Structure formats: C-alpha cells, structure tokens
Structure 1
C-alpha cells in the first residue's frame, strides 16, 4: 500500500525589500543631502555666507539676489534654492512610504496636515507684510509644527514598516528645521557655533537617508546579533571616535580662516591646537576600522554586507586622512576643505551602514539572501 500523500506546505509570505519609484526617490534624497553639504561648504568657503544678508528674502525688497550682490549673492541664493529640492525629494519619500505601507487611503490625513501648515505659514507671512515685521522664522516654525504633527499621526497609524516611516519623516522634519537654522545663521551674522550646528544636522540627515537605504533593502524580520561581542564593541568605539572627530573638525573650522564672510566672527579658540586634537580621534577611528575589517572579513560568509561596508568605510577614511593632511600642509585651500567636508558626511554614511549590518535576520539567512525582484515580497517554504 502506498504511503499517503502529504500536502505541500503553503508558502509563507514575508514583507520584503522596497523597490520601484520609492527606491529611486530614496537614492535621490540621499544624494541631495550630500550635495547640499557641498554647496553649503561653497557658500562659506567663497565668503558668500552673507551674499543674501537677510532671510527669507535676499534683501528687504527682493526674494532673489540683485545684480549689485554679484557672485556671492548667486552662490548663497543657489544654496537656499537647493533646500527646496531637498525638501521636495524628502516629501516624495514620505508620500511613497505612506502609500507603500498603508495604501492610498493613508495619504489624505497627511496632506491635510500639510495644507494646514502651508495656510498657517502663509498667514504668518501676510501678517508680517501687513505689520512690516520679519515673519520668516514664524512661518517656518508653523510649518515645522505641522510636519511634526503629521509625522506623529502617520507613525502611530502605520500598519507595517514603521522603521522606514519614522526615518522618512525624520528627514522631512530635518529639512524644514534646517531652513529655520539656516535663517538663524544669517540673522546672527554667521555665528560659528550656529554654523557648526547647521553642519551637524546636515551630516545627521545624510546618516538617516543612508539608514533608510539600508533598511529598505532588507526584509522586515526580527533580527539578532551577527557578530562577536568584541566586534560590536569595536564598532561602538569607532562610532564614538567618528563623532569626536567630526565635532573637533567643526570647532577647528569655527576658529579657522574660512568664516563665510570677512566680517563674520570667529570662536576665538586656538585653531592650530584644535587641528592636532582633531587628528587624534581620527587615527583612533582608523585603527578601530582596521579591526572591524579584519573581524568582518573572517566571518564574511555569515555577514557578507558587513565585510563590504567595513572595507568601504576604511577606504573613505584613507581618502579623508589624505585630504586632511594635504589641506593642513598647504594652507587650507578651499577646494580641499570642501572635499573634506563632503567626505566626512560620506564616512558617517558608511559608518551607519556598518552599524546596521552588525545584525542579521533571526531566520539565519544573511541579508544578501534571498534575492528578490524589484517590488515586494519573498516566498519561503515552511
């Protein structure tokens, strides 16, 4: 008598990687966040920080720069204009992930919040014009509150991939907040501490967009540690060293010659001393990254993406160290300083990817497997 046939288990559907237009907009958002660091650096390094001496207008009577402002006005206004593009891309990612996780019916409440923010900001501008008072900060603040309220509502009601929804909203909130910080930077005459904070937020936004790219490439599954405790602690030490390096780099810049405008004040710190202090944690970071590469490479079959990203991080640091030494020994040429600023953001993005790949799916599969098509789901047999 033949054995009874057993039914083939039905495949279990797991939430998979995100594809389609959302992937394109997510990459464009990341690239735009990096680009605006470059243009912001150009504003400061060319002495165009007060090319448009007021905010949000370039002058009391003109939104755009006037011919009398010359190239400095064009450079400053160009950076302000790019903020709009960065915001549009961040909004596109928010809309895309909301539709992807909750369907089109989840979108209208968010749009109502946006409309309320726009109306409130417009009313603030109209009031400012009527009373002849600067209403830009108030309008921007109202818009920021509306975006935060929309984000809270969206995150609380999203049914899946809440991690991606949170990251998308954080970028949009950060872009709106950066517009306000940028205005304060101009209104305070390029205070070096405000300028430094402006850069820190920009680097943070690069890291958040990088985290979104990493997370959208992995299934929404429980995760467990994929590395030995010593390697995880090495990664934490590398993160701390990177943060300290960036902070002292900002302080060094705030005491250095590139103020953004001839009349802008400096922090008053000893720039040469800060330059040396800035280098010490960077060498520690380099040593810790070598340890990361060795540890990740030894277990590359289990964590292939961690091995690749640790090598990418090491490569970014090598280039960054080379550029840093070059600019220090050649009188801080503006092009080298600008490249150094952008490389710091890219190094932080690579570090973000490394940290996120210290874990793996709890089902035992590495993040690189199984491969999926551009959209949605992975079929696995029970």
Structure 2
C-alpha cells in the first residue's frame, strides 16, 4: 500500500470533532449531569424570585418593549434607571436558564434511548424556557395583563416541578415501577396535589387583584382582593391538614415517602406563616416575594413525594 493510500485510510477513520464530542457525552448518569441538573433547578427557582422582584419593585415595564429593552437599545440605558436594570436583569437570567436547560438536554443526548424519561423531562424544560420567554414578551406588550402575568408565574412553577422530577428520576433505576404505599395513600396524595394546585391558582388570582401590579399604569383583574385572600386560604389550610395526615401515616407505617412528606409539611408551615404575616402587615414586598418562591418549592416537594410513591419493580 502506498504512503498516500495509508494517509487517506487514516483520515477516513480519524474521528471528527462532532463524533469525539458525542463520545465524550455520558452514557450513564454521572457528576456532569447531576451538577447541571441541580444548577437548572436552582436557576428555575431563582428566576421566580427575580421575576417577583420585577413585579414588586414596579419594574414590570422597566424595559417597555420586547425583545429589545427599548426601540433603540437591546439593553437597559442609563436614563431608564433602576427599573430598567431590574427588568433587563431578569431577562438576562432567562438566557442563563435557557443555557443550563440546553446543557442538560445535550448531556443526556447519548443516553436518550436507555433513559428516555430523563431526555423527555430535559426537553420539556428546554421547550418550556423558550415558551416562557415568548410569554414574557406578550406580558410586556400587553401592558402587564394580570391574567398573562399569572399564567407566566404558574408556568414557571410547573417548570420547577419538572426540574424536580428530573432530579428524582436521575437517582432512580430505570424500568418498571411498583406501588410502595397503600392504594388509598396514593389516592389521598393525588387529592392533596390537586388541592395544592388550587391553592396556587387562587394565590395567583389574589395577587392579580392586589396592589403589586408591576407598574402604576398596569390594569388589575377587577376581583375583590380581600375576598380572594380568604378563598385562597381555605385550600391552603386543607392542604396543610391533608399533608399532616399523610405525614402521620407515613411515619406510623414506615412508608418510604416519610422524610419527603415531612419536608413538604415543613415548607407548608413556613408558607402559611409568611402568608399570615403578609396579610396582616399590608403585603410587604419581601414577604410577597418569599411567598411566591415558597409556593414553587412546595410544588417541587410535592412532585418528589408523588414520584416516591413507587419504587423500581423487583425482577424475578
């Protein structure tokens, strides 16, 4: 074989940069996936906090246009002051959230067939971040319509829940799963999840009728905020009561979800305390923001509880 033929054969078998990159990707859950999955979860929670800060500081129209900050500038200008900085900062964080979500999708790409559950969850988060950016634009272009703002928040909470589901599944063995709790306990847990969803929805409606509109010119929903406060509290107390029952039973029967249901109960207790404080002290901004973040963490904890109701089936 000539020297030229040998060189051509070597080049044909030499891996391309893309193939080397694919080979570098993990074929099982490793530290890279764990780190970026946790970073993605933290970023999703953090953006709820910064989004709340935008609304609670009256910076909702700090960048009055979208996708640029002003008709003539992509970024906030000095003339826009602190409101422009806060709003543009939240938009910038959206980019960070998107990059982290994309990183998780890429990292699980090689194992997308063996761990289809992880790939689907990662893809949902990435698609959700893109959709949320568009919804955020609609929010600005509609002058902070309270129903669109509320939908924007609920979607963010859902994404936090999906990230939490990824964290649970990446630590679980793939394959069939079997029920690890009594069936009535499973049903009661799902009922509790529904009550949590109602609590969050009524909380969003309450905020949409309250004083924190995001901008002085923003319209409100027109609902009676004081009535909604009570309506929001009813499922909140029912949620706490149901979770308390689930926790007592879980510890009495040594169910595998007992530690997570206790964590959920603790978060709910803090959430109720913050809710009572804000309602009795004129809705201070920091308390409302904390209440928003805690709602997302409550949803995440509930997702973890639900996913731990089943364990990998024992093969025979």
TM value normalised by structure 1 = 0.75
CA distance in 2, matches of 1:276, 1:59: 40
Of residues 290, 294, 311, the one that matches 2:262 is: 311
SS at match of 1:53: coil
Is residue 63 of structure 1 aligned with residue 74 of structure 2?
yes
Q: Which residue of 2 aligns with 1:359?
A: 310
Deviation at 1:294, TM superposition (A): 1.5
Distance 2:313 2:173 in 1: 11
* Equivalences for residues 90-105 of structure 1 within 5 A: 90-99=101-110, 101=111
Which deviations, in whole Å up to 9, do the C-alpha atoms of 1:325-352 show, x marking residues without a partner? 0000000000000000000000000000
SS in 2 for 1:360: strand
Aligned twin of 1:174: 128
Q: In 1, Cα distance between the equivalents of 2:219 and 2:228?
A: 17
Residues 296-349 of structure 1: CA distance to partner in whole angstroms, max 9, x if unpaired? 21232x52xx11100000000000000000000000000000000000000000
Matched, 1:248 2:202: yes
**2:245 pairs with 1:291:** yes
Corresponding residue for residue 172 of structure 2: 218
Task: Provide the C-alpha distance between the structure 2 equivalents of 1:54 and 1:362, rounded to a whole number of angstroms.
Answer: 53
Distance 1:273 1:17, change over 3 A: farther
Q: Kindly indicate whether structure 1 or structure 2 has the higher relative contact order, using CA contacts under 8 Å at least 6 residues apart.
A: 1
2:63 counterpart of 1:41? no
Q: 2:155 and 2:133 mapped to 1: Cα distance?
A: 11
2:236 is aligned to 282
Please state how far the C-alpha of 1:19 moved relative to its aligned partner.
2.3
- Residues 56-109 of structure 1, C-alpha deviations (whole Å, 9 max, x = no match): 11111001111111000000000000000000000000000112x0xxxxxxxx
In 2, Cα distance between the equivalents of 1:355 and 1:251?
26
- Give secondary structure in 1 for the equivalent of 2:108: helix
> Which of 323, 328, 335 is 2:279 aligned to?
328
Counterpart check, 1:20 vs 2:31: yes
Task: Give the 3 Å change call, closer, same or farther, for CA 97–172 of structure 1 in structure 2.
Answer: same
Alignment RMSD (CA, Å)? 1.3
Alignment of 1:3-152 (within 5 A): 18-99=29-110, 101=111
> What is the CA–CA distance in structure 2 between the aligned matches of 1:317 and 1:196, rounded to whole Å?
21
Question: CA shift at 1:229, angstroms?
Answer: 1.7
Report what 1:126 is aligned to: none
Paired positions, count? 290
Residue from 138, 162, 181 that aligns with 2:116:
162
CA–CA distance in structure 2, aligned partners of residues 298 and 212 of structure 1: 29
Work out the CA distance in 2 between the residues paired with 1:164 and 1:288.
Answer: 30
Tell me the TM-score normalised to structure 2 length. 0.90
CA distance in 1, matches of 2:313, 2:67: 50
Unaligned runs of 5+ residues in structure 1 are 1-15, 102-157, 365-381
Residue 217 of structure 2 is aligned to residue 266 of structure 1: no
Looking at structure 2, the residues matched to 201 and 220 of structure 1 have their Cα atoms a distance apart, in angstroms, of 27
What's the counterpart of residue 372 of structure 1?
Answer: none
Unaligned runs of 5+ in 2: 1-26
CA distance in structure 2 between the aligned counterparts of 1:89 and 1:299, rounded to whole angstroms? 40
Give the structure 2 partner of residue 119 of structure 1: none
